[in-house]
Amino acid sequence: MRISRSRVAKTIAATLAVGVIVTACGSERGQEDDGGGKPFVFGAAGDPRSLDPSLASDGETFRVTRQAFEALIEHEPGGSEMAPGLAEKWSSNDGGTEWTFNLRKGVKFHDGEDFNAAAVCANYDRWYNWKGVYQFDAISYYWQKVFDGFAENENKDLPESNYAGCEAKDDHTAVIKVNKATANLPGGFSLQAFAIHSPKAIAAYEKDKPSGAADSINYPKYTQEAGTVAGTGPFRIVKWNKGNKEISLEKFDDYWGDKAKVDKLVFRTIDTEDGRRQALQAGNIQGYDLVAPGDVKKLADQGFQVPVRDVFNIFYLAFTEEQNKAFADKKVRMAIAHAIDKENIVNTQLPDGGKVATQFMPDTIEGYSDKIQPIKHDPEQSKKLLDEAGVKNLKVDFCYPTEVTRPYMPAPADIFQIMKSDLEGVGIKVTPKPMKWNPDYIETTRDGKCGLYLLGWTGDFNDGYNFIGTWFGGYQKEWGFRDNTVFKAVKAAGAEPDVTKRVELYKKANEVIMDYLPGIPISSSPPSIAFGKDVNPPKVSPLTQENFAEASFK
Amino acid sequence: MSTKTDKIDRLAELTARSETSTGASLWVEAFRRLRSSKMAIIGACVIALFVALAIVGPWLAPYSAEAQTWRNEVFRNQGIFVGPRAENWFGLDHLGRDEFSRFLVGARQTLLVGVVATLLGFTVGALLGGLSGAALTLGGRVGRRIDTVVMRFIDMMLALPSLLLAVSVAAVLGQSLTTVMIAVGVVQIPIFARLLRGAMLAQGGSDYVLAARALGVRKRRIVFSQILPNSLSPVIVQATLCLATAIIEAAALSYLGLGNPDPAVPEWGVMLAQSQEFFDAAPMLAVYPALGIIITALGFTLLGEAMREALDPKLRS
Amino acid sequence: MLRLVIRRLLQLIPTLFGLSVLLFLWLNKLPGGPAAAMLGERATPEAKARVEAALGLDQPLWVQYGRFLGRLVKGDLGTSSQTGQPVLDELVLRFPATVELGLSAILIAIVVGIPLGYFAARRRGSWLDVTAVSGSLLGICIPVFFLAFLLRMVFSVHLGWFPAFGRQSTGINATEVTGFFVLDGILTGEFDAAWDAINHLVLPALALSSIPLAIIVRMTRASVLEVLGEDYVRTAESKGLSNSVVRVRHVLRNALLPVVTAIGLLTGGLLSGAVLTESVFSFGGIGSFLKTAIDARDYPVLVGFIMFIAMTYVVINLIVDLAYSVIDPRVRVH
């Protein structure tokens, strides 16, 4: 107590100073390689929802599970063509109702089980027989999208299932049957949601149901911690540390194909876009996705790798005709199409490689029609059309999402502002309706409560139906129009089992759609992904399905 | 913000401590000391400048703040921005709008949010606090009951982090500029309420009140003609400080995406939150609104602090 | 003492009860109501009706409230719509991170703030005083999210001293015991891990400490100034007591009383700051979880969190009050 106070103060100050210096050195030490394989760390934008891909429909979940689970069909590295996955070959009968898969031999699951036809059928039968909470749209989104319903539909709104059973012809031949041909197959077989799990794991899943009171979905425990889930992929999931927002994967030594080049792969969630960029710049992570277009050049200049993906998405401005009667007049729709300066949006907002769209499909998809002429930016023509339609002082509700970056639209709020300024330029009054992306925005636009809104789509697989089928195959509240010419053209294409004929029908359908103009396709653009200087990145995929087994350190 | 409560109770005490028996001379004395305080003068100057900017700014603005006049010159996707130049003093923002005009117009929006929010917090808070304080001073079982109920409510509000309170308000009312004002204002209600109540209680025990009571003046009259007016000074000081907080909180709400729904309308908080996305390419676009916010908040804080010191006889040098 | 504790705990009941009523009404007032909030993306009218029936939303309001309260009492805060896990589990999982961060921020504020405030008061008008006062004013006036952003920019990106995000480096394989990473590292003897966790704490804690630091500096300064003017200090000095004894026994101890109260009251503000700081640094605590909950309109999490915080807040203040009456027996707690 007798020590002079000022000496104490000095000591404290000194300790603090030393602390800072030592800490500074410490962080350098932290980055050293500690002998074992250095982990490849990828910065994710959000936490996955579950470790079971069959329950998921979001990109963040799939990015992780894709490294550990494989589907019957996969895609070629860096492309959108289908390629052998767990099936070496596949074929269908003429009617497109029976799909035969010749399965790969010598494949092992992470839990030591053998992969065979029985395992495939166990998976498909599991999905088909889902009950209760599993039948909620939020959990079985992709099953419902591709196979419609379940063995016993508990909700009368669900359509009858198109799935007609799976048969293990022999150990390595599986046959999956459907009731009627659909354009969703075989593409659907390549979805990560239909990746094959070990039968032993499936038996364990059964004991651990999602505790679903009607009020909300409670994901089963096995999807929230590593240990139970088991696939065949090049990595196996070893730990999900939620507190530190990281999922660790390890190289699977018994993988059937080319083994992973890094021993450890880690996905860490970094909430903000600039946080991910700065983490890469600080060397804390080796890569991250959805780089803001404005950062691409900067990062490239600093020596980071920013490989360009192929374009596989479409971004559009939609009309909901039932929400705003004025849109029922094609002249008004055309006037708005002429008012929007799409070139400016592509030139100033979208990443390099972005293109102005002419139809509801990117030009990388078979079925894209070259015949469709772009609608020019022409405010005068726009005003003229509005006059002709006899619409004065047109008012529109314009919804846009906030706080979100989608692969097809990097900065929705800014794009909205550009469009608003364009529309006001031709005398249309715009009421801004900003909403949080999920659930507000998605819900409101789906319910058809927005006059104009921004949305887009990244393809799941290379088939035109994956784009136009969901929107224009029949009446949809979100578009709010009934036009049988459009519906028939799209449906006809979807029901055609022959691929070459189908492609021709898609081209036709695209022309019919653009002739009707239910919305304005704005652009297709490649979402950017960035990697550190010290790594060989995996091939980037237009479907955003990077396979991190290809990645390695330099 | 509950971090303010420390000051609240203290301030409340201070006013009661002053030796003067009437509010007027307290204020005269305080004002005299304020004039000689450097802090107060700087603060007042900053505020005056800011208010002037907010009033005449929109007329001074050389261009429309919302027109994307130069939008073909800015390429956000390539990190190409236009810095200060002869026709655009602060350069262009990410959509090719004149940043200087946006800054000027933004001043008004920012002040509007701060003032309306604080007024709201002040009014409701003073009503609640006044009710509680009056009830308690008037005494009786009913009075104490009223006080307990009101204070429970106030404590509850204090317990909630201000941002969450704001989020709750925004969730019910939807996103709009009004929501931001209400949200920020609601957060201040408990501060003002506690403050006024405390000050009234402290005044209730002061000599002149006791004297008046001894002379047989009716309690109700004392409360409304003596205690209440004399208790208002700390509340007004607090209002000055709260203006600073309000501006910063509004910026935080914008950062969380709960700000003004029409991003075309410039507001410093929104501008700052937005420009962080392209800070590397155009740091100045963040610096202008950030400086605006910091300097203004500083102005209000300086003046508020100086006023507090002026009112506090113990801190006299 | 015991009576005080019991009385405080009893007072807790009406507060929490009132809060639950408010929250219940709030949930019901939400656009679309709870059913829409839960159904999410494609709420067809039929599906909505089904869920409403299942939830008992077709029953009178007071019956619904009864059920709501019943669940709360059982500690059932509902299920997060983002993660599909019980809200309570999610909060408990992330609680240590936020406590660790908050404590570090308060620690910085105390360790730096009290001496700074003290010396500023002792040398009133000196450069130290001016720096401390203006620095603390700046600390209050700079938006936390911007400060956090700048700190990261300078110290992780440009200088590379500290990691840019998270609570732990990726390479470190630490054993988890309590969820407090620094403590865990020390408990298990994995000092590497503890050191690593401290490194991750520095920048967010600095950003978060800006406001408490500013407040503590000014509180300490003001109350030291006040105490210095008190008669007993003058008496002590005139009696010839050595300078340091006067300082410690009389000045600092008496001056710290209001500071202690202030620290207790800082917690509420810290949580607001944590939402911002944690999301800038992707620090896996309650704050960044709340930010995503706000973005995703995860109402069960918001409601659960509010209840959780209200309780924590009351408990903290109870502790502060008790501490206060221990430090200074003269204080009667009303």
Inform me whether the C-beta atom of residue A296 falls under 8 Å from chain B C-beta atoms: yes
Q: Between chains, do B175 and A434 touch, taking CB under 8 Å as contact? A: yes
Indicate if the pLDDT at residue C334 is higher than 90.
Answer: no
Tell me which residue of A278, A251, B279, B254 sits closest to C166, measured CA to CA.
Answer: A278
In chain B, which residue's Cα lies nearest the Cα of A410? B77
Interatomic CA distance for residues A463 and A184, integer angstroms: 8
Indicate if the pLDDT at residue B94 is higher than 60.
Answer: yes
Contacts of A274 in chain B (CB under 8 A): 276-277, 279
Dump pLDDT digits (tens) for C308-319.
777 776 676 667
Indicate if the pLDDT at residue A215 is higher than 60.
Answer: no
What percent of chain A shows pLDDT beyond 90? Answer: 55
Instruction: Tell if the pTM clears 0.90, that is, is over it.
Output: no
Determine the residue among C211, C215, C259, C272 to mutate to test chain B binding: the one whose Cβ has the most chain B Cβ atoms within 10 Å: C272
Q: So what's the pLDDT on residue A123?
A: 95
Indicate if the pLDDT at residue A552 is higher than 80.
Answer: yes
Touching subunits for chain C (3+ Cβ pairs under 8 A): A, B
Give the single-character DSSP code of B222.
Answer: I
Q: Is the separation of the CB atoms in A414 and A349 below 8 Å? A: yes
Task: Using pLDDT thresholds of 50, 70 and 90, give the confidence band for residue C244.
Answer: low
Across the range A52-56, mean pLDDT stands at 91
Does C93 or B8 have the greater pLDDT score?
A: C93
Indicate if the pLDDT at residue A31 is higher than 50.
Answer: no
CB atoms within 10 A of CB C330: 7
Long-range contacts of A15-19 (CB under 8 A, 24+ apart): A16/C111, A16/C112
Across the range C10-14, mean pLDDT stands at 75
Interatomic CA distance for residues A348 and B75, integer angstroms: 4
Dump pLDDT digits (tens) for C124-176.
888 888 888 888 888 888 998 999 999 988 998 888 899 888 888 876 767 77
Q: Tokens 């009054």: give the residue.
A: A429
Interatomic CA distance for residues B271 and A358, integer angstroms: 34
Contacts of C46 in chain A (CB under 8 A): 157
Task: Using pLDDT thresholds of 50, 70 and 90, give the confidence band for residue C327.
Answer: low
Indicate if the pLDDT at residue A169 is higher than 50.
Answer: yes
Indicate if the pLDDT at residue A531 is higher than 90.
Answer: yes
Touching subunits for chain A (3+ Cβ pairs under 8 A): B, C
Give C138→chain A minimum CA distance, Å. 22
Interatomic CA distance for residues C284 and C166, integer angstroms: 7
Q: Between chains, do A439 and C46 touch, taking CB under 8 Å as contact? A: no
Dump pLDDT digits (tens) for A238-257.
999 887 888 999 999 999 98
Sheet-wide strand order for A313-319: A355-356, A519-524, A313-319, A452-458, A395-402, A429-436
Task: Using pLDDT thresholds of 50, 70 and 90, give the confidence band for residue C329.
Answer: low
The distance of Cα A30 from the centroid of its chain, to the nearest Å, equals 34
What percent of chain B shows pLDDT beyond 70? Answer: 88
Determine the residue among B14, B156, B287 to mutate to test chain C binding: the one whose Cβ has the most chain C Cβ atoms within 10 Å: B156
DSSP A134-188: GGSTTTSHHHHHHH-S-SS-SSTTSPPP-EEEEEEEETTEEEEEESS--TTTTGG
In chain A, which residue's Cα lies nearest the Cα of C166? A244
CB atoms within 10 A of CB C196: 25
Torsion angle in degrees (nearest 10) through CA of C246, C249, C250, C252: 100
Give C5→chain B minimum CA distance, Å. 17
Does A446 or A147 have the greater pLDDT score?
A: A147
Q: Phi/psi at B187 (nearest 5 deg)?
A: -60, -30
Interatomic CA distance for residues C300 and C80, integer angstroms: 6
Average pLDDT, rounded, for chain A: 86
C84: left (phi over 0), alpha (psi -120 to 50) or beta: left
**Bridge partners of residue C214, in order along the sequence:** none
**B164, B172, B252: residue with CB nearest C306:** B164
Dump pLDDT digits (tens) for A86-126.
999 999 998 889 999 999 999 999 999 999 999 999 999 99
Dump pLDDT digits (tens) for A454-507.
999 988 888 888 899 888 988 888 898 999 999 999 989 988 888 889 999 999
**C152, C163, C282: residue with CB nearest A271:** C282
Size of interface B-C (CB pairs under 8 A): 145
Q: So what's the pLDDT on residue A484?
A: 92
Task: Using pLDDT thresholds of 50, 70 and 90, give the confidence band for residue A85.
Answer: very high
**A347, A410, A417: residue with CB nearest B263:** A417
Q: So what's the pLDDT on residue C33?
A: 53
**A274, A348, A354: residue with CB nearest B76:** A348
Average pLDDT, rounded, for chain C: 78
Task: Using pLDDT thresholds of 50, 70 and 90, give the confidence band for residue A32.
Answer: very low
Q: Which amino acid is at A44?
A: A
Q: CB under 8 Å to A520, separation ≥6 — which residues? A: A316, A317, A333, A336, A337, A340, A342, A375
Does A235 or C63 have the greater pLDDT score?
A: A235
Q: So what's the pLDDT on residue B223?
A: 81
Indicate if the pLDDT at residue B247 is higher than 60.
Answer: yes
Inform me whether the C-beta atom of residue A144 falls under 8 Å from chain C C-beta atoms: no
Q: Between chains, do B171 and C297 touch, taking CB under 8 Å as contact? A: yes
Contacts of B68 in chain A (CB under 8 A): 417-418, 421
Tell me which residue of C270, C273, C268, C272 sits closest to C148, measured CA to CA.
Answer: C273
Q: Is the separation of the CB atoms in C162 and C202 below 8 Å? A: yes
Interatomic CA distance for residues B30 and B26, integer angstroms: 6
Task: Using pLDDT thresholds of 50, 70 and 90, give the confidence band for residue C55.
Answer: low
Q: So what's the pLDDT on residue A263?
A: 92
Query: Of the ranges A1-5, A358-362, C254-258, which one carries the lowest mean pLDDT score?
Result: A1-5
Q: So what's the pLDDT on residue A140?
A: 85
Q: Between chains, do C282 and A272 touch, taking CB under 8 Å as contact? A: yes
Across the range A55-81, mean pLDDT stands at 91
Indicate if the pLDDT at residue C250 is higher than 90.
Answer: no
Indicate if the pLDDT at residue C98 is higher than 50.
Answer: yes
Indicate if the pLDDT at residue A402 is higher than 60.
Answer: yes
Task: Write out the two tokens for C30.
Answer: 């939400």
Question: What is the Cβ-side half-sphere exposure of residue B304, based on CA atoms within 13 angstroms?
Answer: 25
Interatomic CA distance for residues C239 and A378, integer angstroms: 91
Q: So what's the pLDDT on residue C320?
A: 66
Does C268 or A370 have the greater pLDDT score?
A: A370
Strands A98-103 and A87-92: antiparallel
Q: So what's the pLDDT on residue A11?
A: 45
With both helix axes pointing from N to C terminus, report the angle between B284-311 and B268-275 in degrees, rounded to the nearest 10.
140
What percent of chain C shows pLDDT beyond 90? Answer: 7
Interatomic CA distance for residues C239 and A329, integer angstroms: 96
Task: Using pLDDT thresholds of 50, 70 and 90, give the confidence band for residue C189.
Answer: confident
Q: CB under 8 Å to A487, separation ≥6 — which residues? A: A472, A473, A474, A475
Of A170-174, A273-277, B69-73, B84-88, give the range with the top mean pLDDT: A170-174
Q: So what's the pLDDT on residue B225?
A: 78
Contacts of C137 in chain B (CB under 8 A): 298, 301-302, 305
ipTM for the complex shown: 0.81
Q: So what's the pLDDT on residue C45?
A: 57
Q: Between chains, do C176 and A30 touch, taking CB under 8 Å as contact? A: no
Q: So what's the pLDDT on residue A282?
A: 87
Indicate if the pLDDT at residue A447 is higher than 90.
Answer: no
Answer positive or negative: Cα dihedral of B140, B145, B146, B151.
Answer: positive
Task: Using pLDDT thresholds of 50, 70 and 90, give the confidence band for residue A346.
Answer: very high
Interatomic CA distance for residues A194 and A121, integer angstroms: 11
Q: Is the separation of the CB atoms in A27 and C159 below 8 Å? A: no
Does A191 or C31 have the greater pLDDT score?
A: A191
A37 vs A226, A238, A553, CA distance in Å?
Answer: 21, 15, 10
Across the range C64-69, mean pLDDT stands at 81
Dump pLDDT digits (tens) for A300-336.
999 999 998 889 999 999 999 989 999 999 999 999 9
Taking a contact as any Cβ pair under 8 Å apart, which residues of chain B between 136 and 175 contact chain C?
A: 152-153, 155-156, 158-164, 167-168, 171-172, 174
The distance of Cα A68 from the centroid of its chain, to the nearest Å, equals 18
Tell me which residue of C149, C51, A80 sits closest to B287, measured CA to CA.
Answer: C149
| Cα first-last separation, chain B | 30
Q: Is the separation of the CB atoms in C287 and C279 below 8 Å? A: yes
Inform me whether the C-beta atom of residue B283 falls under 8 Å from chain A C-beta atoms: no
Q: So what's the pLDDT on residue B12?
A: 57
Task: Write out the two tokens for B1.
Answer: 């913000």
What percent of chain C shows pLDDT beyond 70? Answer: 77
Contacts of A377 in chain B (CB under 8 A): none
Inform me whether the C-beta atom of residue C130 falls under 8 Å from chain B C-beta atoms: no
Indicate if the pLDDT at residue C43 is higher than 70.
Answer: no
Of A13-22, A35-44, A180-189, B195-204, give the range with the top mean pLDDT: A180-189
Q: So what's the pLDDT on residue A30?
A: 38
Q: So what's the pLDDT on residue A286?
A: 94
**B160, B276, B314: residue with CB nearest C306:** B160
Give C141→chain B minimum CA distance, Å. 5
3-state secondary structure A243-271: CCCEEEEEECCCCCCCCCCCCEEEEEECC
Q: So what's the pLDDT on residue B133?
A: 85
**A349, A417, A434: residue with CB nearest B77:** A349
